[in-house]
Structure 1
Amino acid sequence: MITAETNIPNRMRAAVLMEKGVVRMEDRPVPTPAADEVLVKVASVGVCGSDVHYYREGRIGDFVVEQPLVLGHEVSGRIVAVGADVSPSRLGQRVSIEPQRPCRRCAQCLSGRYNLCPKMEFYATPPIDGAFQDYVAIQDMFAHAVPDTVSNDAAALFEPLSVGIWSCRKAAIAPGARVLIAGAGPIGVMTAQCARAFGAAEVIITDLMPARRDTALRFGATLAIDPSRDSVETLGVDAFIDCSGAAPAVRSGIRAVRGGGHAVLVGMGADEIPLPVTVIQVREITLTGTFRYADTWPAAVHLAASGAVDLDGMITSTFDLEHTKEALEATHDPAQLKPVVRL
């Protein structure tokens, strides 16, 4: 291991989810990077909806917290040490971490769909620890250099930005497109920004909460609709992206898609819901899901550095590591778009 600093400690702080609703500070050993890894001193970590689910429910689907777990997978920092196979020129670089480790040998990885790797190790997904701690190790190829014009907080949000980029790619959004997005939470707002950056002429977003609709209008949406009052089914959009996970939103959104359009399911809701199959068939709608992302960080760097998306503006509160529990609980407030933990 080659280091950039002589004072890298042997121990570090970590905010650990001990069980549902319980976060405790622990003293843990600093990771030692493997030959193909870098050691990153964490700067900022965004709070994701999945972190909140694990904190409140102790599980997401088949992923169950069965032992103490460090949450947090939206992370930026600075490389302070490199493994034997990594160029020392990387020391000192500011980076945004793509928080996954695929096997790079299976059929999915070899075809470029490494997000679908069956052996994936993903930050803050049981039993893999995340980034609410002072230091993390990650493979060199997944520590993406960040330009000086991008803040640490914004660099941490390249992860949810990547969800928006991946969703827009799946939706085949092109210049002039008309797009409908259900759900104006953090991912919905991020996706709205991406859709505009991809060239969409109209971005229509739905949400039951007035505050969230107002927020969406500040971040790329051209129209915000209360779905309890106004129907979207006759909109005739080129693409529908569901970021809500709500069954009624999924059904009405699919019905809003024109012939030959795309419908993309991003939000996590019920395992099974009835769908308007005849509409999908006769309009030849392409319906797909998303699971994380692949090769999105270069686009995220460009969108953030060019100002095409506003990440810093999405941050609504900041906390230190000792108040990670409060950061997780802050999402109870619908006015909170993106809490961030700064180290």
Structure 2
Amino acid sequence: MLAGRLEIASRTFTVREVPVPEPGPGEVLVRVRAAGVCLSDVHLIDGDLTPAFLGAAEVTLGHEVAGEIDAVGSDVHEWAIGDRVVLQAGERCGVCPNCLRFREPCLAVRTRGVDYDGGWAEYALATQHTLVAIPDELPFEQAAIVPDAVSTPWGAVTGTGRAAPARPAGVWGVGGLGVHAVQLLRLIGAAPIVAVDPLPAARERALEFGADVALDPADPALRATVTALTGGGLDVAFDMAGVPAVREQAVRCLGPGGRLVLAGLAPAPLTIENSIALSVRRQQVLGHYGSVPGAVEQLITLVRHGRLDLARSVSGTVPLADAADAVAALRDKTGDPVRLILVP
């Protein structure tokens, strides 16, 4: 089968033939129908991110995956060949204290397409407990992005950031993560919603997805505009871009007790220009990664009942063989994509 493989030491990415894996006990083999291209994949290829738990020299990329079950291993009884599924973006390690003794989030989650082989391939292995059924009316291309592009901002909005109805929220960076953060903030009733992005097309998109106002970060009056619009500052701000300058600007736009949530990944140091003001105003800076168990199921339910529309999120499809072109397009923001989808 074809697979998009990354050699970690050299950061060499190639699409080439590899053996089709066979499902073991508790595993299923999924015929991949769609796989999202995420900025995290670009960071992996560029060397900004390094797998923490990968026990091999290379890995098949891809943590946003949807398809049909093609084969099942032993001890798999709840899934059948032909079932339409989306794959969770990772799974519990099974060895940390939270996995062994407590019913709490895993302390060392293994990420699909990072710490073990993912879905930039014609077939992908998955343990049965990482599968979520998807309805027939949900296209694979839209389902594939739920485990990260939608569930990560969902976790940031409803969990880490504790966004609330009728409370002001801001989103910096309206790309693959940020545009869904705007959409989800609108869904839960946050108001007003302020979107910030340097690209005019992204600002227009933010308004289409539910922002009340979309601002250019280069506007010298940005802070004053946000303060006036919100009556004193944002309750919560989300950095979806992973840019140091974004974080400094977002902190300045927080109100008393406000929270900055770092969902965009960045290797650069985190600096706070005036930490005294941060302490006096009792503000917080919070890291965020992924989502909690059950998030993907919640989002699929919202889609099924018409509360969440992902049709606008797919910017285009690219053959798996041309995965390198999709990576370049996302890196260079060619066409300002929300999500490009690889199709085997």
Post-superposition offset of 1:191: 1.0
Q: Deviations over 1:174-225 (max 9, x none)?
A: 2212111111111111111111112212211101111111111111222110
> Is the Cα–Cα contact under 8 Å of residues 197 and 303 in structure 1 kept in the other structure?
no
Q: Which contiguous aligned blocks of 4+ residues in structure 1 show a shift greater than 4 angstroms?
A: 18-22, 61-66
Long gaps (5+) in structure 2 = none
Between the aligned partners of 1:108 and 1:253, the Cα distance in structure 2 is 33
Between the aligned partners of 1:89 and 1:124, the Cα distance in structure 2 is 23
Post-superposition offset of 1:31: 1.6
Distance 1:199 1:25, change over 3 A: same
Distance 1:61 1:228, change over 3 A: farther
State the match for 1:164 in structure 2. 153
Instruction: Write out aligned runs for 1:160-309 (5 A).
Output: 160-168=149-157, 169-229=159-219, 230-232=221-223, 234=227, 235=230, 236-275=233-272, 276-295=274-293, 296-309=295-308
- TM-score normalized by the length of structure 2: 0.87
State the match for 1:335 in structure 2. 336
62, 75, 94: which one aligns with 2:65: 75
Post-superposition offset of 1:64: 11
State the match for 2:315 in structure 1. 316
Post-superposition offset of 1:38: 1.6
Post-superposition offset of 1:105: 4.0
State the match for 2:127 in structure 1. 139
State the match for 1:155 in structure 2. 143
The aligned amino acid for 1:136 is A
User: Once structures 1 and 2 are overlaid, which stretch shifts more, 139-148 or 76-85?
Assistant: 76-85
Distance 1:64 1:144, change over 3 A: closer
> Is the Cα–Cα contact under 8 Å of residues 247 and 270 in structure 1 kept in the other structure?
no
Structure 2 SS opposite 1:80: strand
State the match for 1:113 in structure 2. 105
State the match for 1:26 in structure 2. 16
Between the aligned partners of 1:97 and 1:219, the Cα distance in structure 2 is 26
Post-superposition offset of 1:21: 7.3
Between the aligned partners of 2:69 and 2:53, the Cα distance in structure 1 is 31
Post-superposition offset of 1:121: 2.6
Between the aligned partners of 1:64 and 1:141, the Cα distance in structure 2 is 20
Alpha-carbon RMSD: 2.3
State the match for 1:325 in structure 2. 324
Distance 1:111 1:283, change over 3 A: farther
Post-superposition offset of 1:90: 3.4
Between the aligned partners of 2:271 and 2:6, the Cα distance in structure 1 is 35
The aligned amino acid for 1:165 is W
Post-superposition offset of 1:34: 2.4
Post-superposition offset of 1:310: 2.7
Post-superposition offset of 1:316: 1.2
Structure 1 SS opposite 2:257: strand
State the match for 1:5 in structure 2. none
Between the aligned partners of 1:265 and 1:68, the Cα distance in structure 2 is 28
- TM-score normalized by the length of structure 1: 0.88
Distance 1:18 1:107, change over 3 A: closer
The aligned amino acid for 2:245 is P
> Is the Cα–Cα contact under 8 Å of residues 175 and 337 in structure 2 kept in the other structure?
no
Post-superposition offset of 1:88: 5.3
Post-superposition offset of 1:61: 5.4
Long gaps (5+) in structure 1 = 1-11
Between the aligned partners of 2:252 and 2:194, the Cα distance in structure 1 is 15
Post-superposition offset of 1:95: 0.8
> Is the Cα–Cα contact under 8 Å of residues 15 and 323 in structure 2 kept in the other structure?
no
> Is the Cα–Cα contact under 8 Å of residues 165 and 191 in structure 2 kept in the other structure?
yes
- Corresponding position: 1:14 with 2:3: yes
Q: Deviations over 1:73-120 (max 9, x none)?
A: 111011122222221543321111102132234223334212x32xx3
